[in-house]
Structure formats: structure tokens, C-alpha cells
Amino acid sequence: MVYPPVPHTSIDGNVWPALPGQKGQIVLSLLYQMEQTQWWSAEDIRDHQFQQLTALISHAWDKVPFHWSRLEQMGLKPPFDDLQQRWSDIPILTRRDIQEQDKSLYCEALPTGHGAVFDIHTSGSTGKPIRALRSQLALWFWSAFTLRDHLWHRRNLRGKLAVVRDSTPGVAPYPKGSRFKYWGSSRQTFDTGTCVTLNINCSAAEQAEWLARENPDYFLSHPTNIMRVANHCIENKIRVSNLKQINTLSEILRPEVRDLCRAAWDVEVTDNYTSREIGYMALQCPEHEHYHVQAEGVYLEIVDEEGKPCKVGEIGRILVTHIHNFAMPFIRYEVGDFAEVGAPCACGRGLPVLKKILGREQNMLTKANGEKVWTLLSEGAIRKLLKIAPILEYQFVQKSRTGLEARFIVGRDLTKAENAAVRVWLAEKFGPEFDFDLVFPEQLQRSKSGKLQDFLSEV
């Protein structure tokens, strides 16, 4: 185990202490500061965030027509001395705004030093694509948070990393997959081991065989994919002897995935919360299963239906401001997810805590009377379901006010008694007023980016 990781030298004959190249130096200088700032008090962190937010808002006022007109309308003007007091009056930025406003959200001129501008297209889970711009500066922060995640979870960067994420047809096909010398851009800063990848549309059996053959130290994928591979490994007693940790991202982590990974490979899961347009928003605490907001990169708010900040224990919608991306400022952007506000963490970090992250609004169940409720599939409930019948994967789709389709991938056909027991479970979970349709498709419906949601509403 090489810990802490060794910086990657860029100079012949320089071994220790090592000096990385320019890109690595930039990221290392952010990491150096973030090693301190994570321990600051919540108040200190917030004060510094508002210094950075003032710089962002001043830029948006000057160079981004969409934000200028919003700020002008609410009478928020330079030098923005009252920014902190008036922050929550700034209107929410929605996906729809981004689709409709398009170019008026791009900055007219980037300040010196922010670097090149890159664009991405992302569909999110709503299927409506948006185009987003990011500066090189924003990408440096992205790299720094990637490394912070490695450091927090004490990964051996010299180990082998296996990644199953890409769903592009023809990319990293079974059985060979693709092979890279390094863990992507992390190598600019630290020495790393190799990275192997496989297409996420490969079957669970193919992935398990590949995993056992590659025998990596770390396995990174979407939680629902990890789940199907873990189930396959449990059933077929496939061990991956070098595996030390599972890393999940880009979907909501269901609690039973942690149990499954312990059962399949005797390893723990670390999760993080990201989006394509924003980047890292929260990382799992090194000592707990909840998350710390990455406050050096984002200002994250959790608000109730009236837009008021939620208190500890309350669930509300997530609004996020990327404090360093001046190319296309995301100010109070509604990501579409919900979270529960956590109490300050016992680990001592002052970074805000998200106790739980919940799926998108479309994943709420609509009752017959029109009321919308969370379908929280708790660990206990899911465990109970999996005990009833040999269910490998599940997905519930609300088709109408009273109709719900339960889709299962099963190890074998269910018996009459199992079928009946599943129906009883469904009625307990979703309510007796629903008609349940049990279907057994070959595959469950995934979004374009390979994500799978456990509950979908078509109402």
C-alpha cells in the first residue's frame, strides 16, 4: 500500500520530493488548500464562499446578459455588498431556462487565466438535452475533487482501477475491454496504476468473468450495474481477490447495494454525487455513509416548496451554484434531485452534510387523490422482497393513478406462492389501491447514459 500517494515527477533525475508538470502543480496547489479548508468552521467556509460568489456575480452582471437582466430586475447591483442577505431572492435557474435562453447564458468574455472553454451535452434523467460550457479553471477543480475522493478513501493509486460506465456501442467490448496505462488525468498529479474498462451494456455474466480475470483493486460503476454484477457473483461464487473497494457515482445509491457488495466481495462502497453539467457536488465522508458538500467548488442549498432553507432532518430540492465556472455561470441551478439536510459531522470537517440524496421529482408516487409521496425503498423493505423470491433486479413504473407495473429480472420462473407473496409486498409498499402488473422482461429500461432508476412515474 502506497499511502499517501506519490506525486508524479515531470523532471528527469528528480525523484523525491517530486515536482509534477504545470497541470499537476495547479491541481496540487488546490489540494494543498483543500486539505486545510475542509477543517474550517461552517461559518468560515460560508464567508469565503460568499467572497467567491461576489466575484462570480460581478462577472455575471458584466458579461452574461441572462443574469444581468435578472439581477437588474431585482435591483441587485455592484458592488454587491448585500449579496449574502439577498441571495435567496435570486430566481432559480431551471433546465428549461437553459434550453430556452441558450446563448444569453454564455459569457461574452472570460477573465484572463480561466483557460479554454469546453462544451458538453447532457440529457439528464429527463431526456431533454442541454448544452453547457465549462472553463479550464472549472476542470481543474474537477480534477482536484477526483483526487480528494481518492485521498479521503485512502485508495492506493498504484493499484488497478476497473471502470464500467460507457454505453457507446462498440466501445470497450467484451471480452477484451479497453486498457489504459493510467487513471486518466489523475496521473498529471500522482503516479497511478493501470485502468481497464468494459462497456456497461455487457451482461452481468460477462462483467463478472472480466472482473475475475482482471482482478482489479477498485471497481467503479453505476450502483444498479454494481448490483447486477454482485448478484451474479454471489450466485456463481465468483470472488475478486484483489478487490478493496467499490466506487459508485451518477445514480442514487440504494442502501442494499452496500450489503450486496459486502456479501459478494467483502468490500465497502464509497459513493459520490456528481452531475455532468456541474461536476462534483458531494463526496461520501471518509468515516460515515453520508456526504460532504464540496464547498470549495459549489454553493449548495436545500430548500422547501416555498424556497426557504430546510433544517436538519428535512428533505428539500437541491439548488447548486458552481462558484468557479465563469464560462456559463450556473447560479441557483435546480439539478432536479432532492436531499435531506444532515447535522454537522462527527469527523470534524466543516463541510456541510447531506444525510441522504434522493431521486428526481418524477420518481415520486402519485396517489389516487393526486398527492405526491416519496417511494423510499428502504433497506429493510428491499431485503424482504429479495427473500421472497429469486429477484436479481427490479424496477417499478407507475402507469396511471391506480396502475403500477413491477418489472423483475429473475433467476428462474416464480412459483404461484412467490407470485402471491410479491403481490402482498407490493400492496404493503405502494398501497392496496393499486393494480399491480408483474412483468419479467429480458432487460430493464436504462437511460441513454446507462442509468437505471428503481421507480419511474409516467403519470
3-state secondary structure of 206: helix
Q: Which residue has the cell 458584466?
A: 62
Instruction: Check binding of 347 to Zn ion (CB under 5 A).
Output: yes
Residue with Cβ nearer Zn ion (312 or 420)? 312
Is 357 one of the binding residues for Zn ion (CB under 5 A)?
Answer: no
Distance CA 134, CA 251 (A): 22
Residue type, 305: E
CB of 287 to Zn ion, least distance (A): 6
Question: Which runs of E-coded beta strand occur in 278-359?
Answer: 279-284, 291-293, 298-303, 315-322, 333-341, 353-358
CB 347 to Zn ion: min, Å: 3
- Give yes or no for residue 98 binding Zn ion (CB under 5 A): no
Residue among 158 and 355 whose Cβ is closer to Zn ion: 355
In the bound state with Zn ion, the residue whose beta carbon lies nearer, of 23 and 356, is 356
**Residue 42 interacts with Zn ion (CB under 5 A)?**
no
Question: What mask of x and - would describe binding to Zn ion in positions 2 to 41, judged by CB under 5 A?
Answer: ----------------------------------------
> What cell numbers appear for 204 in the block?
452481468
Binding mask 267-306 for Zn ion (x = CB under 5 A): ------------------x---------------------
**Sole window of 41-49, 114-122, 251-259, 348-356 interacting with Zn ion (rule: CB under 5 A):** 348-356
- Residues 6 or more apart in contact with residue 384 via CB below 8 angstroms: 425
User: Count H helices, E strands: the chain?
Assistant: 11, 20
Per CB under 5 A, does 345 bind Zn ion?
yes
Give 3-state DSSP helix, strand, coil % of the chain, rounded to 5. 35, 25, 45
One-letter amino acid of 289 = E
401 exposure class (CB count in 10 Å sphere: 0-12, 13-18, 19+): middle
Shortest approach of Zn ion to residue 145 CB, angstroms? 15
Q: Which is nearer to Zn ion, 206 or 296 (CB)?
A: 296
233 is a site residue for Zn ion (CB under 5 A):
no
Strand, coil or helix: 452: coil
Rounded to a whole number of angstroms, the minimum distance from the CB of residue 253 to Zn ion is 17
* Chain positions contacting Zn ion, by CB under 5 A: 285, 345, 347, 349
